């Protein structure tokens, strides 16, 4: 099977990618055997863009992805990230040149590859944007990375980075219930020719309709600590899911497939990376890659997320995104 392709800047990728984080952290216990089988199945289905980061599982996720693609490297557009650090238990960002180079070398070793196709600044060190992007330009020149991207950045920050070295892609959360990038960031990317890679396009699984109670979130599941999944917020947000499910039923698809198709409809430069660690969900997601929505369906879905209740993250983490 071959999926349609789209372009992120000058980089050609499958119209849908695979987020690998949940295979190693945040969503309960992992299973390396099933995760590797999921990555292999993704490649068989024509998914080329695989997404990981140096902090996912403390490097374990990069190692997992590296093992999975060891004999299939030429089929993969490999993306990973750097820049998140913790100080006294608080998440912050680091972007000095020496650290950028160090992180790249460590990721190359964990992944077992000689270059990274798309290397993202995971969170922005706002005091050093120009220094960070100068270092990324040097990594391109050295052949260690092919393209550079940025994650969860505001419009002004994207412009600062792009002025130093071309930003190939922005990775940010974008879904029916997370629309923060639409007023300023998405238009800036369109203006500058920057691709957009939405993570959590299924609202961390919520928009599939599979989560109806916080009691379903097991030990180690980060969603239990996110405001939108707590108590009255969750109850209020279920109205969004019910609407999506009703629209999906009319179309003869799942709620998750409809939610993915909505994100994909935002432009040919938009490549969502739904995350999963199971082949069953992967196959459902990939089926949505060729699902086209009518103008009427898009209008109906546009209105769905307006009533979302609760921030994306707890207060401390919320301050680290969108600047």
CA distance 176 to 301: 7
Give the strand pairing for 49-51 and 77-82.
Answer: parallel
56 is a catalytic site residue: yes
CA distance 157 to 164: 11
> For the purposes of burial, counting CB atoms within 10 Å of the CB of 25, is it exposed (0-12), middle (13-18) or buried (19 or more)?
middle
Give the strand pairing for 18-19 and 84-87.
Answer: unpaired
Among 25, 116, 113, which Cα is nearest to 66's? Answer: 113
Q: What 3-state class would DSSP assign to 157? A: helix
Among 112, 93, 104, 176, which Cα is nearest to 143's? Answer: 104
List CB contacts of 189: < 8 A, sequence separation 6 or more.
Answer: 158, 170, 195, 196, 269
> Considering 27, 56, 99, 119, which one is annotated as catalytic?
56
Among 104, 87, 42, which Cα is nearest to 69's? Answer: 42
- Mind telling me the catalytic residues? 56
């Amino acid at each position: 099977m071959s999926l349609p392709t789209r372009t992120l800047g000058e980089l050609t990728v499958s119209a849908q990618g695979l987020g690998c984080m949940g295979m190693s952290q945040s969503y309960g216990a992992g299973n390396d055997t099933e995760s590797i089988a999921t990555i292999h199945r993704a490649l068989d289905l024509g998914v080329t863009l695989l997404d990981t980061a140096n902090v996912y599982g403390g490097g374990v996720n990069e190692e997992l992805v590296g093992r999975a693609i060891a004999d299939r490297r030429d089929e993969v557009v490999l993306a990973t990230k750097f820049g998140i650090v913790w100080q006294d238990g608080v998440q912050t960002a680091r972007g000095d040149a020496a650290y950028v180079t160090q992180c790249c070398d460590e990721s190359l070793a964990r992944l077992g590859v000689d270059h990274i196709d798309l290397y993202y600044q995971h969170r922005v060190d706002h005091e050093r944007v120009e220094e960070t992007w100068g270092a990324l330009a040097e990594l391109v020149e050295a052949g260690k990375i092919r393209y550079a991207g940025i994650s969860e950045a505001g419009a002004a920050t994207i412009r600062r980075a792009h002025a130093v070295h071309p930003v190939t892609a922005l990775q940010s959360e974008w879904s029916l219930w997370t629309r923060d990038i639409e007023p300023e960031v998405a238009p800036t990317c369109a203006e500058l020719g920057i691709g957009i890679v939405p993570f959590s396009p299924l609202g961390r699984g919520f928009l599939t309709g599979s989560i109806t109670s916080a009691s379903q979130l097991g030990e180690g599941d980060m969603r239990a600590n996110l405001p939108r999944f707590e108590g009255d917020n969750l109850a209020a947000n279920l109205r969004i899911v019910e609407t999506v499910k009703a629209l999906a039923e009319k179309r003869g698809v799942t709620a998750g497939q409809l939610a993915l198709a909505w994100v994909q409809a935002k432009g040919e430069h938009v490549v969502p990376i739904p995350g999963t660690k199971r082949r069953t969900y992967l196959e459902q997601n990939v089926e949505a890659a060729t699902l086209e929505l009518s103008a009427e369906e898009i209008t109906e879905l546009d209105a769905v997320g307006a009533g979302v209740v609760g921030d994306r993250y707890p207060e401390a983490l919320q301050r680290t995104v969108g600047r």
